[in-house]
């Protein structure tokens, strides 16, 4: 399967959901008993939570999950998955999370369209092994060409932070509303979206990014930026579900 070609074709929501479920189950089936596991955020990651809960119920799987968001914490608890805070563990055996964009073969990612990018990056950094699960529509030929890069910023002076991002070539838009959606089309005067860490998110349209590592470093160096949704060299394996089943891609170390 060439997932890049698949991503350009029309895919129904039902088909995309089926692919997400397949990728989630594929990854969950490979979690070792006794693992301390980072639990990702977003629709595909929540399907992995459901698959893990089935293994706990049906197979007696023993895991401890460390959630990347308050939403993930709530879902995990409702499914009976034991959880712990990040500071309660010394390291994570692995993490399973979704992504908004995946670039092959480097496995560079864009994450954070759901608003959990900071905790997702902290969990990824604490994990010995990092697994990403996506459907084939998330495969891109160039990072940033199809959507914005989320940047989490402190609320104080955020307009000045946005101005510095503009100097990097971005078109930042303050994310608004309670839902974790980009704020284009949000009603005028809508309240800013607030992350779990109490910060704002600027959705920054850069266009095609040909140097993800350089761009990631430049964004992080701006005072007022907490973190951003470019995940560069932070993934060991990606499971991509599409019309020919699940394909696995690994980063060359």
Q: How far apart are CA 26 and CA 133, in angstroms?
A: 9
Tell me if residue 70 is catalytic. no
DSSP 3-state assignment of 214? helix
Q: Which member of 120, 152, 166, 250 is catalytic?
A: 120
Q: How far apart are CA 194 and CA 184, in angstroms?
A: 16
* Beta pairing class for 237-242 and 245-250: antiparallel
Q: How far apart are CA 210 and CA 110, in angstroms?
A: 13
Peptide bond into 38 cis (omega under 30): no
Task: Calculate ∠ Cα 53-54-60, nearest 5°.
Answer: 85
DSSP 3-state assignment of 16? helix
Helix (H) or strand (E) holding 117: helix 117-126
What positions carry a catalytic annotation?
A: 120
């Amino acid at each position: 399967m060439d997932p890049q070609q698949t991503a350009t074709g029309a895919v129904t929501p039902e088909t995309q959901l089926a692919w997400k479920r397949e990728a989630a189950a594929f990854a969950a089936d490979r979690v070792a008993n006794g693992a301390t596991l980072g639990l990702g955020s977003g629709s595909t990651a929540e399907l992995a939570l459901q698959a893990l809960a089935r293994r706990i119920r049906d197979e007696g799987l023993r895991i401890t999950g460390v959630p990347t968001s308050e939403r993930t914490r709530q879902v995990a608890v409702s499914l009976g998955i034991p959880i712990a805070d990040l500071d309660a563990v010394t390291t994570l055996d692995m993490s399973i999370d979704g992504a908004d964009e995946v670039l092959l073969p480097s496995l560079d990612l864009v994450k954070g369209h759901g608003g959990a990018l900071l905790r997702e990056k902290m969990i990824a950094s604490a994990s010995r092994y990092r697994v990403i699960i996506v459907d084939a529509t998330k495969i891109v030929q160039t990072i940033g060409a199809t959507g914005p890069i989320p940047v989490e910023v402190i609320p104080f002076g955020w307009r000045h932070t946005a101005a510095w991002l503009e100097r990097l070539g971005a078109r930042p838009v303050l994310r608004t509303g309670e839902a974790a959606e980009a704020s284009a089309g949000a009603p005028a005067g809508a309240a800013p979206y607030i992350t779990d860490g109490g910060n704002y998110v600027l959705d920054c349209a850069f266009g095609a990014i040909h140097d993800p590592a350089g761009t990631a470093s430049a964004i992080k160096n701006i005072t007022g930026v907490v973190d951003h949704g470019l995940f560069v060299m932070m993934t060991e394996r990606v499971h991509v579900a599409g019309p020919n089943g699940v394909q696995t891609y690994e980063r060359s170390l």
